[in-house]
């Protein structure tokens, strides 16, 4: 297979290939999709079921339990978690990792069928379950709409107008509006008026329901025509409601609704979610992008459309962007491209310095074509430019030159030895084609475990494998095709020794002589050298225990969150007031750019790694954007002190936005068992242990504190006598202290409930509880509620019942104090033994979640395919040499790389994270690749008839420059990644590990070869 000769002879075809890679890559660079983070599938759906009036225990037993039992039968289900609260069941369904994104629609259909089949078996009063499978949607642009002096209705109307316009922008997927207040028609009537007039609530409900219903009046035949009948009587305006006749039939006086009540449009007292932006009430628009689009281009289109709509914006109403993924992607990609260009300059500069101008230019040209060609293939395969793929390009950059260096070095040495240009090229290509392919495949297989990993972390990092697969294979192809062509152009006119003229030894430089002398010494004392390496390896393994561990580091987006948890049962309006005070204070701090506050639940998923909280009236989250990353630590320190001093009733947690898939709290201890009292006791002990550690922050458990509940003691006998049942008491109390839905009011596309309630003075006064009047069907009049309620008892209840895989589970959670600088693993190692020492009753279990579980699962997913990848790598090595022994020698050098890795982490203090694990895999591939090239050269020299010792020394010396240059370009090329929080741990592994690995390949591997083959320097004949 004379690929080099073909490209040298067919210059037109060669130029077509060169231009295709070059120009095609430049086109791809301008058109390729851009994202901030790689897309991964959130394999989660949420089943929400309302059961109005039910206690948390009733919801758990009557709704959550049967739905969980039905859902659990799906073979695709991995984990089921649920929250049962008063009147609400929320079941989160996580699908097993092996199901891909294109399989999920069918999975969600099966889930809906299971839920719908179970729905008719649920108790009366349970509303139909809703399955939300859009849980993983990412709304990459978050806009806030606010305006001093504007009502929520005015804000809503303009926000809805923007939503309808922006969803039409090409490339936009969905546009969601959040923070809406529940609008309703309020009929406000005093208790004494209803009692005096003797109008029961059932009368109003019947009138409103029958009067405002949509029903079919049929058709009228007139000759050949069929004319539809559509009587009037529906409410078309609030004034129609006021004119509703409410007096009983036969009453001497006509009483209209306006005579006894105030009718108006208003907002409910208990909104599910309240939104604030930069200290003002607001609404938010979340804009998601369609798949496979250039986020930057679509973001620009959205902003152009907003500029076109500017004339329709009411004066004084503000549109502000809290998060704009197109802007973030532009900055992120530009920053990475800058790092990439810097790495490229470093690599090219290193080659020019150490290989000379001709060799350096050849390799630089081939490297540029490899990079552009990789971009072209990525574009064709739909791989976007994002954090992982760009990092992979930088990692591959130094590895791409390896094959080219071997070829160019061989041609150069051949020319210096007096060979003709074509002979030199043919010799090198013939000698190195298959070893280079084997080494390339091994380097790719080293990354295969992450490419084959099925969990979310593996999916998040998969483009690392894909990009390296593309670029490394392309580098091998160009090494045996285009590189020889460039080498011919560069070295064809190079001065070479004439025939018969003494040929200079290319390895007589001082560096080669020094290396040869050192190699001779370590080979002579081979066993001592190997013992020294073994000792260093043991020391490195022991030292690795002192290396800090982590999963993923904090993101470099200048943003942090303030989570506020008030006591369970806190009214959402009180939560709003406290959150407003907090965000006003934060806005006044130096360096704060933007602040968004969401009350009652988390906000939309604006970035893939963010996961908001479910609905809790006692919860608020303040999202803070600073001007730069360096302002976050001092601001967090100041806010920690301020919030704890001024809001002692709130549990406050300050946390950074993290890289990688979201895993909840960093520290999670899950206690599983049947009795809530026992679970709370176990959880309290774990909470005390964590709170005793100064690094733990926001310590608590997800069941929260028990809440108060008022239980009217209904007298059933007295109720029967008066014609009053429990439902009458429920509806009367709801009308008196909340609002009783009576019907539906239609306003264009909106449908609003008609709510009967009492004035604020009665509704918000708990002392009026015993003054409530209730309608007696037996007496046909109102009677005091005390006639059927013997007492009002205050009791305590579990407001939340959490379950995991159909078992009650209490999870103790803790964040890491940001100012501590510690990782979750460091805190876990201090508290793990003490929490595990808590005695567990029979039937109760403890398991660890958080970063520990995520890291364990991610590593297990990688290690699951690691044996097959390593077996394939080993078999390739064996097949290349036809010797298990030689392959084993190469593989024996891999563990020794831990010496350099441990040293690197101890020197830098950077934690060993998941990306460092991937760096170890890549390091093994690099080591094996270098070892293969060296072993192949030893075999080539032996085939030329050299003595074993001379062949070993010459082969190692000839590989000195290629191996050192490959290592040097890799180490220097990765230097920019040391300043990237996401890739810095991987950079440490490869830079320090490869630095020491070069020593292994050049010294230890020859020592192993000589020791196990009994090679010694033959004495010179006397």
Give dist(CA 835, CA 411) in Å, integer.
Answer: 65
pLDDT at 503 over 70: no
Closest CA relative to residue 662, chosen from 579, 552, 521: 552
Per-residue pLDDT tens digits for 857-871: 877 777 777 788 888
Q: For 781, list phi and psi in degrees, rounded to 5.
A: -160, 170
Using CA atoms, how far residue 34 sits from 28, 334, 369, 450, 748, in Å, is 11, 11, 21, 22, 41
Q: What is the mean pLDDT of residues 466-477?
A: 92
pLDDT at 459: 78
* Mean pLDDT of all residues in 832-852: 92
Chain segment 760-785, per-residue pLDDT in tens: 877 878 877 888 888 888 888 888 88
Whether 500 shows a pLDDT value over 70: the answer reads: no
According to the model, what pLDDT value does residue 661 have?
63
pLDDT at 953 over 70: yes
Whether residue 504 is predicted with pLDDT greater than 60 in this model: the reply is no
Residue 143, pLDDT score: 94
Q: Can you tell me the mean pLDDT for 879-887?
A: 84
Q: What's the rounded mean pLDDT across residues 625-635?
A: 89
How remote is the C-alpha of 880 from its chain's centroid? 41
Closest CA to 401 of 376, 366, 428: 366
Short-list 927, 918, 930, CA closest to 989: 918
- Report the C-alpha gap between 349 and 353 in whole angstroms: 6
Q: Where are the beta strands (DSSP E) in 463-612?
A: 559-565, 592-599
pLDDT beyond 70 at 709: yes
Q: How far apart are CA 380 and CA 378, in angstroms?
A: 5
**What's residue 662's pLDDT?**
59
Reference 913, options 394, 547, 607, 669; nearest CA is 547
Average pLDDT, whole number, for the chain?
A: 86
Is residue 186 classed exposed, middle or buried when 0-12, 13-18 and 19+ CB atoms within 10 A define those classes? buried
pLDDT in tens, 2-30: 788 888 888 899 999 999 999 999 999 88
Closest CA to 521 of 1018, 1017, 1020, 1019: 1017
Percent of the chain with pLDDT over 90: 30
Instruction: Burial-class residue 225 by CB neighbours within 10 Å (0-12, 13-18, 19+).
Output: exposed
Q: Which of 877, 994, 863 is nearest to 395 (CA)?
A: 994
Q: Which residue has the tokens 């993101």?
A: 555
Please tell me the predicted confidence (pLDDT) of residue 660. Answer: 66
The per-residue pLDDT for 802 is 94
Q: Please state which of the ranges 595-599, 810-814, 875-879 shows the lowest mean pLDDT.
A: 875-879
- For CA atoms 553, 556, 557, 560, the dihedral sign is positive
H/E segment holding residue 1008: helix 1005-1013
Phi, psi angle pair for 570, to nearest 5°: -65, 135
Encode 790-808 in three state secondary structure.
EEEEEEEECCEEEEECCEE
Whole-number pLDDT of residue 1020: 57
DSSP, collapsed to helix, strand or coil, labels residue 227 as strand
The yes-or-no verdict on residue 353 having pLDDT over 90 is no
856 band by pLDDT with thresholds 50, 70 and 90: confident
Find the range with the poorest average confidence among 122-126, 439-443, 827-831: 439-443
Q: What is the pLDDT of residue 681?
A: 94
Beta bridge partners of 176: 286
Q: How far is CA 296 from CA 292, 303, 331, 929, in A?
A: 12, 11, 10, 39
Q: Is 603:596 a contact under the CB 8 Å cutoff?
A: yes
Which range (170-174, 223-227, 841-845, 996-1000) has the least confidence?
Answer: 996-1000
182, 181, 183, 177: which is closest to 144 by C-alpha?
A: 177
* CB 661 within 8 Å of CB 136: no
End-to-end CA distance of the chain: 48
In this structure, are residues 1000 and 924 in contact, taking their beta carbons and an 8 Å threshold?
A: no
- The pLDDT of residue 1 is 59
Question: What would you report as the CA-atom Rg of the chain, rounded to the nearest whole angstrom?
Answer: 36
Instruction: Kindly report the length of the chain.
Output: 1022
Averaged pLDDT for residues 520-528: 87
Calpha distance 118→110 (Å, rounded): 13
228 bridge partner residues: 219
Is the separation of the CB atoms in 399 and 475 below 8 Å? yes
State the Cα–Cα distance between residues 598 and 53, nearest whole angstrom.
Answer: 26
Maximal C-alpha separation, the chain? 142
22 vs 311: CA distance, rounded Å? 46
> Cβ distance 929 to 402 under 8 Å?
yes
d(CA 289, CA 39): 12
Looking at residue 497, what is its pLDDT?
62
pLDDT of residue 1018: 64
| pLDDT range class, residue 1021, cuts 50, 70, 90 | low
CA–CA separation, 509 and 491 (whole Å): 21
**Taking the mean position of all CA atoms in its chain, how far away is CA 645?**
33
Query: Tell me: the pLDDT tens digits for 398-407?
Result: 677 778 888 8
What are the chain's domains? 1-31+358-494 (1.20.1640.10), 200-212+229-259+707-797 (3.30.2090.10), 510-546+883-1021 (1.20.1640.10), 556-628+639-656 (3.30.70.1430)
* Residues sharing a CB contact under 8 Å with residue 890, sequence separation 6 or more, in sequence order: 877, 927, 928, 931, 932, 935, 1005
Residue 49 confidence class, pLDDT cut points 50, 70, 90: very high
Q: Is 637 helix (H, G, I), strand (E, B) or coil?
A: helix
356: left (phi over 0), alpha (psi -120 to 50) or beta: left
The candidate with the shortest Cα–Cα distance to 683, out of 696, 670, 695, is 670
E strand map for 618-690: 619-626, 651-656, 667-672
Helix 482-491 and helix 421-445: axis angle, to 10°?
Answer: 140
Two tokens, residue 23: 């120009």
For tokens 């946390």, name the residue.
655
Q: How confident is the model at residue 740 (pLDDT cuts 50, 70, 90)?
A: confident
Strands (E) across 516-571 are located at 559-565
State the CB neighbour count (10 A cutoff) for residue 363. 29
The CA distance from 151 to 156, in Å, is 9
Scan for tokens 């999916």, then name that residue.
459
pLDDT of residue 663: 60
Torsion sign, CA atoms 368, 372, 373, 374: positive
Q: Which of 199-203, 589-593, 849-853, 936-940 has the lowest mean pLDDT?
A: 199-203
Strand pairing of 183-188 and 750-757? parallel
218: left (phi over 0), alpha (psi -120 to 50) or beta: left
Residue-level pLDDT at 490:
86
CA distance to 82, 273, 278, 706, per residue, from 581 (Å):
32, 17, 12, 26
Q: DSSP string covering 245-301, please?
A: B-SPTT-SS--BHHHH-EEEEEE-SS-S-EEEETTEEEEEEEEEEPTT--HHHHHHH
Model pLDDT for residues 75-132, shown as the tens digit of each residue: 999 999 999 999 999 999 999 888 888 888 899 999 999 999 999 999 999 999 999 8
Q: Residue with structure tokens 């079921």?
A: 49
pLDDT at 501 over 60: no
d(CA 267, CA 274): 12
């Amino acid at each position: 297979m004379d690929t080099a000769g073909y490209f040298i002879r067919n210059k037109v075809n060669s130029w077509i290939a060169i231009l295709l890679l070059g120009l095609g890559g430049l086109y791809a660079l301008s058109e390729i999709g851009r994202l901030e983070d790689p897309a991964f599938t959130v394999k989660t759906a949420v089943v929400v079921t309302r059961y109005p009036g039910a206690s948390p225990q009733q919801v758990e037993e009557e709704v959550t339990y049967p739905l969980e039992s039905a859902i659990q039968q799906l073979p695709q289900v991995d984990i089921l978690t649920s929250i049962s609260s008063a009147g609400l069941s929320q079941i989160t369904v996580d699908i097993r990792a092996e199901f891909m994104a294109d399989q999920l629609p069918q999975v969600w259909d099966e889930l809906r069928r299971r839920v719908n089949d179970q729905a008719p078996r649920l108790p009366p009063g349970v509303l139909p379950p809703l399955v939300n499978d859009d849980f993983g949607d990412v709304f990459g642009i978050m806009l806030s709409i606010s305006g001093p002096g504007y009502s929520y209705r005015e804000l809503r109307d303009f926000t809805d107008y923007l939503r309808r316009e922006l969803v039409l922008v090409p490339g936009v997927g969905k546009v969601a509006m959040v923070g809406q207040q529940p609008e309703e028609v309020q009929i406000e009537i005093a208790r004494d008026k209803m009692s005096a007039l003797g109008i029961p609530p059932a009368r109003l409900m019947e009138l409103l329901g029958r009067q405002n219903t949509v029903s079919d009046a049929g058709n009228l035949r007139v000759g050949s025509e069929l004319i539809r009948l559509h009587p009037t009587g529906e409410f078309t305006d609030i004034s129609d409601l006021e004119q509703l006749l409410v007096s009983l039939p036969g009453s001497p006086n006509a009483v209209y609704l306006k005579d006894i009540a105030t009718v108006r449009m208003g907002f409910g007292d208990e909104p599910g979610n309240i939104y604030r932006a930069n200290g003002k009430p607001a609404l938010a628009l979340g804009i998601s992008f369609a798949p496979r689009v250039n986020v930057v281009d679509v973001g620009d289109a959205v902003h152009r459309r907003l500029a076109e709509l500017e004339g329709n914006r009411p004066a004084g109403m503000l549109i502000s962007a809290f998060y704009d993924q197109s802007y973030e992607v532009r900055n992120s990609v530009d920053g990475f491209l800058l790092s990439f260009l810097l790495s490229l300059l470093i690599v090219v500069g290193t080659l020019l310095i150490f290989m000379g101008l001709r060799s350096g230019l050849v390799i630089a040209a081939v490297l540029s074509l490899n990079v552009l060609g990789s971009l072209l293939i990525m574009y064709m395969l739909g791989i976007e430019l994002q954090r992982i793929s760009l990092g992979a390009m930088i990692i591959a950059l130094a590895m791409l030159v390896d094959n080219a260096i071997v070829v160019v070095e061989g041609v150069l040495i051949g020319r210096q030895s007096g060979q003709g240009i074509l002979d030199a090229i043919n010799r090198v290509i013939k000698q190195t084609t298959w070893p280079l392919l084997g080494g390339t495949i091994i380097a790719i297989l080293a990354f295969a475990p992450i490419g084959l990993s099925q969990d979310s972390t593996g999916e998040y990092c998969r483009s690392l494998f894909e990009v390296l697969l593309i670029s490394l294979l392309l580098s091998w192809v160009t090494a045996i095709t285009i590189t020889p062509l460039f080498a011919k152009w560069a070295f064809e006119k190079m001065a070479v020794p004439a025939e018969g003229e003494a040929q200079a030894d290319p390895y007589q430089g001082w560096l080669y002589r020094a290396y040869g002398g050192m190699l001779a010494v370590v080979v002579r004392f081979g066993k001592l050298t190997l013992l020294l390496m073994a000792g260093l390896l043991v020391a490195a393994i022991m030292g690795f225990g002192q290396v800090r561990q982590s999963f993923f580091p904090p993101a470099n987006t200048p943003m942090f969150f303030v989570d506020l948890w008030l006591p369970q049962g806190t009214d959402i309006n009180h939560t709003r007031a406290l959150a407003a005070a907090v965000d006003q204070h934060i806005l006044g701090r130096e360096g704060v750019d933007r602040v968004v506050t969401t009350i009652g639940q988390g906000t939309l998923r604006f970035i893939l790694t963010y996961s908001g909280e479910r609905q809790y009236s006692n919860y608020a989250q303040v999202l803070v954007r600073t001007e730069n990353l360096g302002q976050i630590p001092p601001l967090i320190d100041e806010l920690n002190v301020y919030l704890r001093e001024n809001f002692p009733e709130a549990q406050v947690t300050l946390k950074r936005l993290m890289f990688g898939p979201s895993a909840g709290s960093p520290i999670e201890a899950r206690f599983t068992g049947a009795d809530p009292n026992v679970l709370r006791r176990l959880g309290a002990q774990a909470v005390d242990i964590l709170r005793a550690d100064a690094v733990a922050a926001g310590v608590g458990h997800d069941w929260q504190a028990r809440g108060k509940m008022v239980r009217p003691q209904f007298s059933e006998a007295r109720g029967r006598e008066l014609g009053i049942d429990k439902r009458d008491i429920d509806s009367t109390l709801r009308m008196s202290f909340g609002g009783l839905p009576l019907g539906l009011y239609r306003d264009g596309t909106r449908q609003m409930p008609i709510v009967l309630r009492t004035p604020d003075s009665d509704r918000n006064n708990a002392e009026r509880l015993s003054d409530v009047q209730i309608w007696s069907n037996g007496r046909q009049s109102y009677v005091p509620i005390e006639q059927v309620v013997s007492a009002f008892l205050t009791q305590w209840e579990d407001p939340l019942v959490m379950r995991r895989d159909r078992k009650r589970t209490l999870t103790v959670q803790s964040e890491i104090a940001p100012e501590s600088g510690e990782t979750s693993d460091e805190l876990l190692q201090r508290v793990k033994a003490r929490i595990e020492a808590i005695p567990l009753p029979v039937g109760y279990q403890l398991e660890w979640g958080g970063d520990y579980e995520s890291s364990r699962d991610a590593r297990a997913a990688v290690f699951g395919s690691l044996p097959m990848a390593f077996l394939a790598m080993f078999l390739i090595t064996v097949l290349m040499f036809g010797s298990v022994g030689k392959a084993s020698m190469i593989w024996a050098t891999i563990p020794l790389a831990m010496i350099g890795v441990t040293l690197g982490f101890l020197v830098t203090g950077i934690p060993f994270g998941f990306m460092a694990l991937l760096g170890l895999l890549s390091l093994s591939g690099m080591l094996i690749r270098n070892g293969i090239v060296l072993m192949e050269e030893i075999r080539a020299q032996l085939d030329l008839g050299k003595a074993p010792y001379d062949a070993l020394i010459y082969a190692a010396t000839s590989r000195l420059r290629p191996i050192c240059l490959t290592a040097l370009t890799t180490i220097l090329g990765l230097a920019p990644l040391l300043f990237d929080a996401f890739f810095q741990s991987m950079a440490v592994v490869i830079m320090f590990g490869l630095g020491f690995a070069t020593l292994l390949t050049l010294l230890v591997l020859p020592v192993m070869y000589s020791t196990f083959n009994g090679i010694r320097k033959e004495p010179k004949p006397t």
